[in-house]
Structure 1
Amino acid sequence: LQNLVYLVATIKIGTSFVWMIVVSLNTNMGVAWHRFLAFPNIWFKREASGGTALGGLQPMTSGGKPIDFTDPGDDDVFGVSQVEQFSWKGLLDFSTCTECGRCQSQCPAWNTGKPLSPKLLIMSLRDHAHAKAPYLLAGGGKDMEGNEKASAEQLKDVPAAALAEAERPLIGTLEENGVIDPDVLWSCTTCGACVEQCPVDIEHIDHIVDMRRYQVMIESAFPSEAGTMLKNLEKKGNPWGLAKKQRLEWTKEVDFEIPVVGRDLEDLSEVEYLYWVGCAGALEDRAKKTTKAFAELLHMAGVKFAIMGGDEKCTGDSARRLGNEPLFQELGMENVMS
């Protein structure tokens, strides 16, 4: 029995050594690297508390610094259009994927026949980054105008496969030989189920929104429905393009007075709470039922509250998730100022 234990231990150790050698000789083995990268990826996840990376999106940065949309720099990069523009954490995420498929099995887009698979998206970005790496390590890349930064002399030893991979657009259709199809990018509902389920804490939503930001802000390439909604948000402050006076229509359907800040009140010192109704709560027929019921509960409980009425605008959350960060910032600031 003792010799049998020795034999099994020897086989196990020998197998481990062979595996280490195989991986070290094939650095592009993809899934193999999750064994080494899982721990640092979990350690460096966004939430220091140990929670998954859900909640508010990270602010847009360029060169590691937040972008000032009121006065952006000439060399600021908006969103991600090339794989090397992802943050170091993004590149670490891609190589950490275990290909377990938990994200895919929970994705509402995948389960309703949409082309998005969070697993395949991360794997495609990983394979593209690895294939393009020799080109980037040789100094390759393109500037803001699309000009090659490296000379032909610098790139002469780069494999042809890496040069071909460098020519692929990060976002493009099958005909364009793109890495990520636009339909995949716009199928995401940003629900966060993939992030919640990932055993190694890959932050899929951050990377999807980064690519959307470039598509919206630089290429102006997004679904037509999204364009209508963004235009309505800019002009009317709500996704449906309705007049701001309609935000008060629901108050006529309750049998008590609801004070409005700026009309019935000078400031909020006279009330305990400001009731944020929201666009759907004020304008959408089904949601208005909930709004009225909640207001009635507050009134019955004797809580003093007020609403913003026509001065209230959309939070801009939908614009942010679509990739229009400046519009989100603008709407948020207008709500704060009012």
Structure 2
Amino acid sequence: MRGDGDVSRRTAAAADASRVQQLPGTAPCTPEALCEAAGELRPRAAGQAGEAPEASTAEDAGAPAVAGPCGAESSHHTLRRLRSFVHCVAGSPIVQSALLYLEQQGEHPTALPASQAAAGPAGRTAAAGVEWTLAQLLALWLRAGYTHARESALLSTLWVLESAHSAWRSPASICLSTYTKFVGAFSQEVVRRLTDDWPASFNNLKLALVEAQMDLLQRTSWRVRLDLAADVLPCYAMLFCTTLLGEPKLWTGQRAAPALPPTPTVGAEHREWAAAMRHLCAVICEKSRRLKAHAQACTSTRLPTPECEEERERPAKRQRTTSST
């Protein structure tokens, strides 16, 4: 598969079968394996530009795709996968830079109910924004059956989400250029590592992105369309609300989802990362607001510079004339 291929054409054909069957029995990852790749792409891009990147580990390679956010898997396994996702998002300046670009440009992939997916833009009750992009990212990542989060997998998942909504976002080079545009807003050290040899770093990042995308599409059998109620809303609740276990009511946009009495350990940790994710989204929105204000200030019209008195009183330049002989 080519990196600049058009994902939207093939995902449209698979829109009617947007869910795959839950397959039991993926082993939970160990605590040491959680978010191993917060710096997965960056060291490879800076110091190992000549090596072929790895999109997934042997543990992930054998993991089956799952249908939804929880499916039939245990709450303990769901908790470990969700914790890994949250830690990787919070620890990856490149993922945060990609979210900032989408927020600054207003180009978040929109989550729509299945009944409105084929409708025109008028009258849509769309859910778009940093929070909803993260919820879609989690939903598709869970569907792929990953056991722990890696930076390349999250970036490729975001790329697939964008490509499914717009063919203009299908080329890998275009997406990666925009994803790395605001890395400096989150980590100057990562910028220094990448720019030591930017052509090699960019090529290495692109190879990892394309390989991870191929792995994601194979895991999901090209079923990357998400339904707002069935897929996205549960992930939104898991990321930003204080309910994880049991069967909480889905958030409908009218009021906050009711919180169930959590256990002393799981509930406390979940509340902490829900607050951390809300804080991250607030930081991204604030950085976007400042970028827009700075751009507007730079493009505003300058006040006219008053002319000096001597410039206004200076006579017109004399024209040289040729004398007739």
State whether TM-score is above 0.5: no
Q: Tell me which interval the TM-score lies in, with the shorter structure as reference length.
A: under 0.3
TM-score by length of 1: 0.21
